[in-house]
Amino acid sequence: MKYYLAFLFCCFMASGADSHPSTPSPSNTTNTYSYPSLAKQTVLLTVHGALDHALIAPLFRAFITQHPHTQIQYTQLNTNALYQTFLDAPQERPDIMMSPAMDLQFKLVNDGFALRNDSPPPQSLPMDSQWRQELFGFTYEPIVMVINTDILTGSPLPTSREQLLTLIRDKDHLLDGKIGLFDIKKIGLGYLAWSYDSQQSRTYGRLLEAFGNHKAQLYTDTHTMLEALLKGDLFIAYNLVGSYAFQWSKKYPWIVTLMPTDYTSIIMRTAFINRQTTHPKTAKFFIDFLLSHQGQSLLEASGITPLDRHITGQNSRQALQKLPHGIFRPIPLGLELLIQTDSAKKQLIYDEWDEALGSSMSPSQ
Amino acid sequence: MSKTRSLRRQLLVMTFIVLLFISSLALWGAHIYANRTTKISYDRLLYGAALQMAENITLVNGKVIIDLPISAFETLSLSSSDRAFYSIMNTQYQVLTGYKDLPDIPFPQLIRESQQNQPIKPLYYESNYRGERVRFIILSKRLLEADKSKTVFVIVGQTMEARAKAAKEFNQIALQFVSVFFIITMLLLLFVIWQVLRPLQSIKQAITERSSLDLSALDIHVPSEIAPLVGSINYFMAQLDNTLQRLERFTAESAHQIRTPLAGLISQAQNALDEKDAALRKQQLENILESSQLLTQTVNQLLNRATLTHRFQSHPFSLLSLDELIKDTCRELVVWALEKHVEIAYVGDAKTNILGDEFALKQMLHNIIENAVKYSPEHGTVEVELMTQSTASNQALSNQATLQIRDQGVGVCDEDKLHIFEYFYRSADNVAAGSGIGLSIAKEVAEHHKAAFHLKDNQPTGLIVEIVFLCVEESKQ
């Protein structure tokens, strides 16, 4: 049912040869990358995450430099697959679990799968970015909407959800099949952002109705959606993770990434140590490194907004503050997340979703 | 010598122990209260969350619709680092949503309560779940829709870290409070103890500060509890003062008593030197001899008294036969008495033993009998009689022995009886030679032996000296 396409990525720090492989093809959602240790191999640290390996690779390399006896194996999966693999295949559980699906991560930790890391988190991180010293937030990423400005033709660029609805109403049939969304049933992050919207605002119902009326397309990963925007298959993508979208916008200026000005949801990517890890010490070192100034700086350099507000740079929180935005509403890292995992609640949201988007289909690949 | 125990230290140790006990009691109470309070308050949070969940469960077209509110979870997240678990179940114990493997659900109890058809109260219980101790609440809700009804159970559980932390904080505050209370109370008590013991210090101060000759009463203000002590000290000092005064008077009197005959002796000797007439000179020399004998007697009496005083303090009593002692003394004196044409008669044949100092008693008898002889008229008789219980009529006197020494002299008038025991007291119309010290010594000896000393009038004239001794009982002989 599930198989891993072994993809060995070797990195030689000493030579400094930065031989990045090209971005894996979008259909290839399961990839495993190895980072051999610099010294005689002693410890193999397995990491599962949803983050593009290319973006996190510098962090791994830096960690290996500091801990030469460590070898890292990184497996990249989408958020739902991460969760399901963790539950269904106990023998394949990683030492470190990273995911932006805060609710699923929280559920795993609440259910007792995490190991406590007693070293105090850095002072520069907000107090509520960790839970029980078991689950640690390490990024600060806005949920955004992305618009291909070709659709505007004179209409003003929408900045809020309300204005987005106005635009959809104005353009009407031009947007049929041209709105892209995460398939919330398949992508944990999509569900998280969508259900959080349902808690936050009344526009949620009208948005859902508008998406349904215009036969919104459902996607399972960000890259495909961004490429569809570029190609003109889509004009509007809603609830994307900011980190990728901002980079895309930089490359293609007519693809505009917007933080809605009514409110901007913020998600944190989170990490925890598997309780059954055989290398608790190394795993704790890794978490500490991830949260350290160096680790946070490396994330920023990769284009991911780090949690640490003291980091500067064009992808930092300080830079985000300067862009137009609404009230930042970070999804709280706490028991509130349990409601997102509630099956009855999920069914209610799915039912509304299906009712509105019943005719929608995933785009043919 | 035993170690002296400091009153201050004892008070300190006792108050310290009492305070420690009270503080421990307070801490223990606070601990219990803290646990109870945190339990109640966190149970309420749990109850609140469960109620909010139950509130949002409805029955629509016979189907249970569960739309859990975020506020329920926000309530739970008030204990920020506690894990939480929940489950909604129907009466067939099927999990409608939430955790499917919650342990130890007390269904039997629930069923029992629901059968009693009473409004079901929430039930609390604790169990181990997923590696931690969890406190659960279960409550039931009856869902109504037209003619249908269904019952669901809401179970919410939470780990107890926040409770423990809150209780710990409470206990720490209690500990801090009790510590401060302890220190302040201890300081206050130190002050109070110092204050209470200060009068003792002031007594010591008052005594050390005064001169060694000052025996006047202490005049210091002390609490009523210590006043008796000061009273005792003052009484003792008054006694001492009295004794010293008597001693002083005695010394002066003694000196005077010795100096007067000495002066007489000197002048008589001077006269004798100048006297040409041999017969007169002889007379004068005889006078000198007589005076010298009198003086010797006085000095002997004084020495005897000194010896006796010393013996009283140093000599233990021994068992002796009183009647033998009296007879011996009479025998010793009978010749001397006859020289003075006085007869000594020993009357009665009672035998009795007493505890006493033989030397002192003999001295006493000597003095009394001598005295009696001295004041007896010529050809008079001094009667010495010892009576024991066999002769005494009164049963109460059964273990007493009464000694009477009776003379037929002029007797002693009642006024003189009051003063006759004072040293060197001599009645104004006394013509006999004497030191005026003998009877005083006799009385002292009697008192030392706890014997009663009485003076009575003899018929038709004369004095009866009566001494009542306490006898040693027969069995002890």
Tell me the per-residue pLDDT of B170-197, one tens digit each, with 9 for 90 and over.
Answer: 999 999 999 999 999 999 988 998 888 8
Q: Cβ distance A13 to A70 under 8 Å?
A: no
Query: Is the CB of residue B60 less than 8 Å away from at least one CB of chain A?
Result: no
DSSP A40: S
pLDDT score recorded for residue A24? 32
pLDDT score recorded for residue A9? 35
Q: Cβ distance B68 to A345 under 8 Å?
A: yes
B320 and B458 inside one domain: yes
Distance from CA of B76 to the nearest CA of A (A): 7
Q: What angle do CA A150, A154, A157 make, to 5 degrees?
A: 70
B289/B265 Cα distance (integer angstroms): 9
Which residues in chain B are contacts of A334 at CB distance < 8 A?
Answer: 73, 77, 80
Q: What is the mean pLDDT of chain A?
A: 86
Q: Which of B400-413 are b and which e, b meaning 16 or more Cβ less than 10 Å from the residue's Cβ?
A: bbbbbbbbbbbbbe
Q: Cβ distance A126 to A291 under 8 Å?
A: no
B320 and B236 inside one domain: no
Choose the weakest-confidence range: A289-298, A347-356, B53-62, B109-118: B109-118
Q: At what angle do helices A161-171 and A203-213 cross, to 10 degrees?
A: 30
Given a cut of 50, whether residue A365 has pLDDT beyond it is: no
**Among B144, B167, B190, residue at a domain's last position:** B167
Does residue B51 form part of some domain?
yes
Listed in sequence order, the DSSP H helices in B56-152 are 70-76, 107-115
Domains of chain A: 5-140+269-321 (3.40.190.10), 141-266+334-357 (3.40.190.10)
Does residue B3 form part of some domain?
no
Which residues does chain B have with pLDDT short of 50? 1, 391-392, 397, 475-477
Both structure tokens of B421:
């025991």
B374 and B257 inside one domain: no
Q: Is B83–A132 a contact, with Cβ atoms under 8 angstroms apart? A: yes
pLDDT tens digits, A312-341: 999 999 999 999 888 999 999 999 999 999
B240 and B285 inside one domain: yes
B303 and B322 inside one domain: no
B323 and B348 inside one domain: yes
Given a cut of 90, whether residue A192 has pLDDT beyond it is: yes
A344/B96 Cα distance (integer angstroms): 7
Query: Is the CB of residue B132 less than 8 Å away from at least one CB of chain A?
Result: yes
Both structure tokens of A152:
């505007």
How many domains are contained in chain B? 3
* Option in B80, B98, B132 nearest A342 (CB): B98
User: Of A42, A53, A65, A43, whose CA–CA distance to A9 is shortest?
Assistant: A53
Distance from CA of A276 to the nearest CA of B (A): 13
Q: Is A344–B131 a contact, with Cβ atoms under 8 angstroms apart? A: no
Q: Is B97–A338 a contact, with Cβ atoms under 8 angstroms apart? A: no
pLDDT score recorded for residue A1? 32
The amino acid sitting at A299 is: L
Task: Give the model's confidence band at A27: pLDDT under 50 very low, under 70 low, under 90 confident, else very high.
Answer: very low
Q: What's the Cα-to-Cα distance from B463 to each of A155, B383, B440, rounded to whole Å?
A: 155, 11, 16
Query: Is the CB of residue B9 less than 8 Å away from at least one CB of chain A?
Result: no
User: Across residues A55-71, what is the average pLDDT?
Assistant: 93
pLDDT score recorded for residue B433? 56
Phi-psi bin for B204: left (phi > 0), alpha (psi -120 to 50), beta? alpha
Q: From B98, which residue of chain A is nearest by alpha-carbon distance? A: A342
Choose the weakest-confidence range: A47-51, A355-359, B165-169, B373-377: A355-359
**Among B278, B312, B346, residue at a domain's last position:** B312
A161/A301 Cα distance (integer angstroms): 30
Distance from CA of A148 to the nearest CA of B (A): 35
A360 or A365, higher pLDDT: A360
pLDDT score recorded for residue B210? 83
Mutation target to probe the A interface, by most A beta carbons within 10 A, among B70, B99, B134 is B70
Output the domain CATH number for residue B69: 3.30.450
Q: What's the Cα-to-Cα distance from A362 to each of A227, A365, B429, rounded to whole Å?
A: 15, 9, 156
Q: Is B73–A335 a contact, with Cβ atoms under 8 angstroms apart? A: yes
* Residue A318 CB neighbours (<10 A): 14
Does residue B110 form part of some domain?
yes
Output the domain CATH number for residue B439: 3.30.565.10
Does residue B204 form part of some domain?
no
B227 and B120 inside one domain: no
Indicate if ipTM > 0.90: no
User: Of A271, A5, A2, whose CA–CA distance to A115 is shortest?
Assistant: A271
B410 and B346 inside one domain: yes
B286 and B331 inside one domain: no
Which residues in chain B are contacts of A345 at CB distance < 8 A?
Answer: 66-68, 97
Task: Say how many CB pairs under 8 Å bridge A and B.
Answer: 55
B238 and B319 inside one domain: no
Does residue B293 form part of some domain?
yes
Does residue B132 form part of some domain?
yes
Does residue B186 form part of some domain?
no
B392 and B445 inside one domain: yes
Q: Is A339–B76 a contact, with Cβ atoms under 8 angstroms apart? A: no
pLDDT score recorded for residue A143? 95
A218/A337 Cα distance (integer angstroms): 24
Q: Is A344–B70 a contact, with Cβ atoms under 8 angstroms apart? A: no
Mutation target to probe the A interface, by most A beta carbons within 10 A, among B73, B78, B87, B134 is B73
Q: Is B77–A332 a contact, with Cβ atoms under 8 angstroms apart? A: yes
**Among B167, B202, B228, residue at a domain's last position:** B167
Given a cut of 90, whether residue A293 has pLDDT beyond it is: yes
Q: From B101, which residue of chain A is nearest by alpha-carbon distance? A: A111
B355 and B391 inside one domain: yes
A320/A312 Cα distance (integer angstroms): 11
Q: From B96, which residue of chain A is nearest by alpha-carbon distance? A: A344
Range of the domain at B365: 315-476
Which residues in chain B are contacts of A336 at CB distance < 8 A?
Answer: 70, 73-74, 77
User: Across residues A86-114, what is the average pLDDT?
Assistant: 94
Which residues in chain A are contacts of B81 at CB distance < 8 A?
Answer: 131-132
Q: What is the mean pLDDT of chain B?
A: 85
User: Could you tell me which residues are beta bridge partners of residue A327?
Assistant: A263
Q: What angle do CA B389, B394, B397 make, to 5 degrees?
A: 55
Helix (H, G, I), strand (E, B) or coil at B59: strand
Does residue B357 form part of some domain?
yes
Q: Is A111–B130 a contact, with Cβ atoms under 8 angstroms apart? A: yes
Distance from CA of A331 to the nearest CA of B (A): 12
